[in-house]
Amino acid sequence: MDLRRAIRAAGKFFISVGVLLFLFVGYQLWGTGIAEARGQKSLAASFERRGQLTTVPTIPPPGATAEEAPPSTLPPVELGDALAQIEIPKIDVRKWVIEGVEVEDLKSGPGHYPGTPLPGQKGNSAIAGHRTTYGAPFYDLDKLDVGDSIFVTTIEGRFQYDVTESKIVDPGAVEVLDPTEDNRLTLTTCNPKFSAAERLIVVARLMSAPTDTAPPAPVERPASLEGTREISAGLSGERANKVPAILWGTLAAAIWLGTWLIGRFWRRWPSYAIGVVPFLLALYVFFENVARLLPANV
C-alpha cells in the first residue's frame, strides 16, 4: 500500500514538473511577446518625444543663404531611447528600434549597437534582434534575398537599404560591426532558430546619400564592439539575480498549496477557480525572472 502511494505521488510530481516545463516553453515562445508589446508601446512614445526635441531647419533665416542656415541638430541618444522604426516588407516586420543591445533592451524590440552610426548616417549602422522570443522580430530574416528592401525611419527621415549579402558567422565574428567605407545597415540575429550556436548576418546598402547631420555624442560602447565578447550581448545574455526568481517561485507554490488545502476542507473546484488567477499571475512573473537567469539567445 505504501509503495503504491509512493508511486502515485512520484507520478503526480513528474506530471506537475512536465506541465510547468510545458508552460515555460509556451511563455518563452508566446508569453514574452507581451513584454515586447509593452516595450514597443513605450518606444513609440519615446520616439515622438525625441522628434519634438529635434531641430532640422528647412528654410534659412531672413537675409541668410542656404550655406548660412543653422545646422541640423539631434537630441543626445541615451541607452533605452527609441532610435528608429525598421520596416522589412518581405517578412512583414515593422518594429521600433531601441538604443542598446543588452538583455533588457532587446526585450522591447530590435536594438541598435551603441558606437555604430545611426541609420541614415555614413558608415556601418548595426541592429540586433531576437529570432524566436520577445516578438521574434528577425524570425524570417533568413528569407531575405539580394535586392530586397529594408526601410528605416529616424527623426531625420526615411531611408531605404537594399540587401547585398546574407551570411552565417561564428558568435565571435565581431568584425561585422567594424566601421566601413560604404554606407550600410548590418542586421544580426541568432542562427539556427532556437539556438545561439551561430549568427545570421544580413548586410544592406544605403540607396540614398547619407545625412550630413553630425551624429549625437557617443555613449560607451558595449564590450561586443571591443572584440572581447560575442556579437550582441543581449543575444547571449548575462544572468540576473536569482533572488526574485526564488521569491516568486515560492509565492506561486504557496498559492497553489493554499488552494489545494482549501479545496480539501471546503469545495475543490470553487477553490481552484478562486486560486487559479493569482497562481497564474505569480507563475508568469516567476517565468519572467527565470528567463533572466538563462541566456537570452533565441
Spatial separation of the C-alpha atoms in residues 77 and 95, rounded to whole Å? 18
* Percent over 70 (pLDDT), the chain: 81
157-204 pLDDT tens trace: 999 999 999 999 998 899 999 999 999 999 999 999 888 889 999 999
Q: What is the average per-residue pLDDT within 219-248?
A: 59
Spatial separation of the C-alpha atoms in residues 149 and 164, rounded to whole Å? 10
Count the neighbouring beta carbons within 10 Å of the beta carbon of residue 42: 16
- Judged against a pLDDT cut of 50, whether residue 221 lies above it is answered with no
DSSP state at residue 142: G
Higher pLDDT, 109 or 74: 109
13-44 pLDDT tens trace: 788 788 888 888 888 878 889 889 999 999 99
22-26 contact pairs (CB < 8 A, 24+) = 23/283, 23/287, 24/287, 24/290
Spatial separation of the C-alpha atoms in residues 75 and 101, rounded to whole Å? 20
Q: What is the average per-residue pLDDT within 240-258?
A: 87
- Judged against a pLDDT cut of 70, whether residue 219 lies above it is answered with no
- Judged against a pLDDT cut of 60, whether residue 238 lies above it is answered with no
Spatial separation of the C-alpha atoms in residues 205 and 115, rounded to whole Å? 19
Higher pLDDT, 232 or 92: 92
Cβ burial, residue 190 (10 Å; 0-12/13-18/19+):
buried
* Percent over 90 (pLDDT), the chain: 48
Q: What is the average per-residue pLDDT within 211-220?
A: 59
Cell of 129: 534582434
Spatial separation of the C-alpha atoms in residues 91 and 99, rounded to whole Å? 23
Instruction: Mention every residue, 6+ apart, whose C-beta is less than 8 A from residue 218.
Output: 114, 115
- Judged against a pLDDT cut of 80, whether residue 235 lies above it is answered with no
**Under a CB-based contact definition with an 8 Å cutoff, are residues 196 and 103 in contact?**
no
Tell how many helices (H) and how many strands (E) occur in the chain.
6, 8
Higher pLDDT, 274 or 223: 274
113-163 pLDDT tens trace: 999 999 999 999 999 999 988 999 999 999 999 999 999 999 999 999 999
- Judged against a pLDDT cut of 80, whether residue 271 lies above it is answered with yes
Q: According to the model, what pLDDT value does residue 7 have?
A: 84
Q: Is 296 helix (H, G, I), strand (E, B) or coil?
A: coil
Domain ranges of the chain: 35-53+74-234, 239-298
Do you know the residue count of the chain? 298
Average pLDDT for the chain: 83
**Under a CB-based contact definition with an 8 Å cutoff, are residues 240 and 293 in contact?**
yes
Q: According to the model, what pLDDT value does residue 181 have?
A: 94
Q: Which CATH number fits domain 35-53+74-234: 3.40.50.1780, 3.40.718.10, 2.40.260.10, 3.65.10.10?
A: 2.40.260.10
Higher pLDDT, 127 or 224: 127
- Judged against a pLDDT cut of 60, whether residue 62 lies above it is answered with no
Q: According to the model, what pLDDT value does residue 55 have?
A: 55
